[in-house]
Amino acid sequence: MFELHITTAELVLIVLFLTASLIQLLYYLIFYLRTGMCRHERKSGETEPVSVIICARNEAANLKSFLPSILEQEYYDFEVVVVNDCSDDESEEVLKKFTLEYDNLRVTTIHKESSLVHSKKMALFIGIKAAKNDLLLLTDADCQPVSKYWIASFATSFKENTDFVLGYGGYLRQKGLLNKYIRYDTMFIAMQYAGMAMAGLPYMGVGRNLAYRKKVFLENKGFGPHLYLQSGDDDLFVNLLAKKANTTVNLAPGSFTRSIPSHTWKRYRQQKIRHMSTASLYSGLSKLLLAAEPVSRILFYTLLLVLILITNLYLPLGILAATIILTKIIILALVQKNLGERDLLVFSLFFDIISPILNVSFLLNVFFRKHRYYEWK
């Protein structure tokens, strides 16, 4: 007859493993599944004029490649405001040429001779102040809308009580494992902020594809208490002001943008450290929700391995782990389909294991370099 002998230490580890497993399931079923199940029909009805805001520093090549796809959008009334921020490349010449070709392009220049050292927030503030319309749609110079109805998709997402519309800004598909990981990480972050926003807990958006009302920006004195920070023009602004009642998510296929990804690990690492430098300023609830998932994920995989090695509970542990992993893979497949990232599924389990470890290393860099100046580009 089979006898099960479990020590107190093993029992504690089993309880921790079951807790981590439950937390993982809850995140996927309560938050992430919403991103995978989100369906959008083409909306119609009364809309408002839109101002697209783009801040560009030494982006001549990207402006040549991507700006026409924004200027030629199918929408009845919109302008594109480009803030040429201290560029010393050919950006000014490129923009002058485009202003002759497109009546809806407006350019504001910040000259490099200025002695003021500033972040992207100042450039955004100048662009927003110059905007004629209340609906603002933000993107970057290295971003390209996937559809000519990108502006229309965001405009029709606004209702009378809507102040924020969160969109998906993915990266272009290229060769190599780094590109796949960058796209997976970007997709996972979007799965988090979109799913939580749809559950009534908005905490961030991405400046590559984000819309909000100008009056909200001005009524709250721009970037408010975070003006002094080099980063946070998108996530901290949303974290401060976005609520369940005034925020919606737009995951319609035509609403996406695609950006040029980092081509080297060093550049990607610098970008992640810059993005994470604002996490400590999120609301308490946001920090708790964002920390609980990766911590439980690390515990899930670590304790699974430990318990298999030190106990004879192979069958129940295997069944439970397989159930959770299969659930995660199914939901990730739905999310990847919804966000147009279908080729990542085969790498998902590997990335699911290594991503929290990498993020911990990035956060340690943030902690030890918290006073460092981060370039906004």
Residues in Cβ contact with 331 at an 8 Å cutoff, skipping those fewer than 6 apart: 28, 29, 32, 33, 36
What are the residue ranges of helices labelled H in the chain? 8-26, 33-37, 60-71, 91-101, 120-130, 150-155, 177-198, 214-219, 235-241, 265-276, 284-310, 314-338, 348-368
CA distance 36 to 328: 11
364/273 Cα distance (integer angstroms): 9
Torsion angle of the four alpha carbons 333, 360, 286, 289, in this order, in degrees rounded to the nearest 10: 60
CATH 1.10.1240.10 fits 43-274, yes or no: no
Report the relative pairing of strands 135-140 and 210-213 from DSSP bridges. Answer: antiparallel
Radius of gyration of the chain (CA): 22
Q: What is the pLDDT along the chain (377 residues), one digit of tens a residue?
A: 445 678 888 899 999 999 999 999 999 999 999 999 987 755 665 589 999 999 999 999 999 999 999 999 999 999 999 999 988 899 999 999 999 999 999 999 988 765 556 778 888 999 999 999 999 999 999 999 999 999 999 999 999 899 999 999 999 999 999 999 999 999 999 999 999 999 999 999 999 999 999 999 999 887 777 666 666 677 888 988 999 999 999 999 999 999 999 999 999 998 888 888 777 788 899 989 999 999 999 999 999 999 999 998 889 999 999 999 999 999 999 999 999 998 999 999 999 999 999 998 888 887 666 544 445 45
The backbone torsions φ and ψ at residue 94, rounded to the nearest 5 degrees and listed phi first, read -60, -45
Domain residue ranges of the chain, discontinuous segments joined by +? 8-36+285-368, 43-274
Which residue shows structure tokens 């699911």? 352
Which residues are registered as beta bridge partners of 108?
83
User: Can you spell out the DSSP letters for 157-177?
Assistant: T--TT--EEE--EEE---SSH
SS3 labels along 313-324? CHHHHHHHHHHH
Whole-number Å distance between alpha carbons of 192 and 195: 5
Instruction: Please give the Cα distance from 236 to 226 (Å, whole number).
Output: 7
